[in-house]
Amino acid sequence: MLRIPVKYICLLLVLLTSCKDHSNPPPPTQQSQGTAEDMHKEVHPLETTRYATRFELHKEEGYQILRVKEPWVGSNRTYDYLLLEQDQEIPEEIGYHRLIRVPVDRLVVTSTTHVAALEILGEENTLIGFPELDHISSEATRRRIAAGAIAEIGKNEALNTEILLDLNPDLVVGFSIDGSNRTFNNLEKSGIPVIFNADWMEETPLGKAEWIKFFGAILGKSQEADSFFTQVERDYHQARALAREATDIPSVVSGSIFRDQWFLPAGESWHAAFIADANAQYLYADTDGTGSLTLSLEAVLAKAHDADFWIGPAQFQSYRQMAESSSHYTRFKAYQQRQVYTYSAARGATGGLLFFELAPLRPDLVLKDLIAIFHPELLPEYEPHFYHPLSE
């Protein structure tokens, strides 16, 4: 029987859902210039991102203000980071939470999507620390890990402060599920700046991808980040237009059983958006919410047993694994007709999943994968990047 590591279930739920609502805890300690009331009043209107809702950028000569908004579930916090070029003086009458000298040379990040962003911008050599290195699938970064260039810094929920202090990075890019990470507070008190990244909170494919501009700003690669995103945006829209040429609209189910409950994307989620843009009928498209649904097996079987396709059955890589895990899976038409597709087949040398690492920044490739599955006549001889058919 396939045993699905809990760590991967957690990674999946981070992508599928914004997690349960939490009480709003005190924010991590931040260094400030000016009072809380004055924090934003001198900042000019920010450049509006086209799809991302959790960050904005304001550019001036010699500096930028990077604003990160509501970076965890239930948060009403907004953080303004002053990105100041190395030879520039702090501008007067500018309110901010944290000063960050850019471009950053020595960087610690805490999500595999951050690793992908560094590589896309050609800045993978800035990475000096990461939690749970086995999660990284990239061959290029794995070579740097093997060479001892990237340190293991513990786990996201328990980062090793001593190692981080020894590394002395210019910046730690972190994320918080509920705003209660004590390590970030301790690092700030020790003089190591921490910046929140909330790409995982975005609810649309292009919204997540636009966070490449966040890394472009801190790495001095804004032009390259803008060019990359513009190309991804163009390719995504072209693929979506292609999908509209299909005349058949297949039905789709997703998810799998975990601890006696079936987890699957809600109707307004990131995953559901891909299925809709690929011109297929997600059977739970009419449900509310941007996170995940938790349903009984009986409910899913009653509604989706005749679904034409099954996309993303968690960590399963073969039909045998599914049947051994639960004989109920074999009752679905998509299982019987061998129309189940997984993102779990594309793995790095230590088991890291390429989908978790790269898919948020390459929604154009995710969409093309799904179009090739649902409407193979539109993309003949297409080679998938993330979604592959299950093996027997």
Q: What is the CATH number of the domain that holds 352?
A: 3.40.50.1980
Residue 253 lies in a domain: yes
Q: What is the pLDDT of residues 23-54, one digit of tens each?
A: 333 333 334 443 333 344 445 557 779 999 99
Structural domain count of the chain: 1
Checking if the pLDDT of 292 tops 80, the result is yes
The angle at the Cα of 382, spanning 50 to 357, to the nearest 5 degrees, equals 50
Task: Give the Cβ contact number of residue 34 at 10 Å.
Answer: 15
**Segment 265-276 mean pLDDT:** 96
Residues with Cβ within 8 Å of residue 99, at least 6 apart in sequence: 31, 33, 81, 82, 84, 90, 193
Residue 275 lies in a domain: yes
Residue 160 lies in a domain: no
Whole-angstrom distance, CA of residue 306 vs CA of residue 335 = 10
Residue 310 lies in a domain: yes
Which one has a higher pLDDT value, 1 or 297?
297
Whole-angstrom distance, CA of residue 57 vs CA of residue 215 = 11
Q: What is the pLDDT of residues 141-160, one digit of tens each?
A: 999 999 999 999 999 878 99
Residue 254 lies in a domain: yes
Smallest CA-to-CA distance from 269 within 291, 294, 287 is with: 291
pLDDT of residue 45: 55
Q: What is the pLDDT of residues 63-105, one digit of tens each?
A: 999 999 999 988 899 999 999 998 899 998 888 999 999 999 9
- Provide the pLDDT confidence category of residue 8 given band limits of 50, 70 and 90: very low
- Provide the pLDDT confidence category of residue 9 given band limits of 50, 70 and 90: very low
pLDDT of residue 44: 55
SS3 58: strand
Task: Give the Cβ contact number of residue 235 at 10 Å.
Answer: 16
Checking if the pLDDT of 235 tops 90, the result is yes
Q: Which domain holds residue 288?
A: 243-389
Q: How many residues does the chain have?
A: 392
Checking if the pLDDT of 6 tops 50, the result is no
**Segment 163-178 mean pLDDT:** 93
Q: Is 65 exposed, middle or buried (0-12, 13-18, 19+ CB in 10 A)?
A: buried
Residue 334 lies in a domain: yes
Residue 297 lies in a domain: yes
For the chain, percent of residues with pLDDT exceeding 70: 89
Average pLDDT along the chain: 88
Residue 59 lies in a domain: no
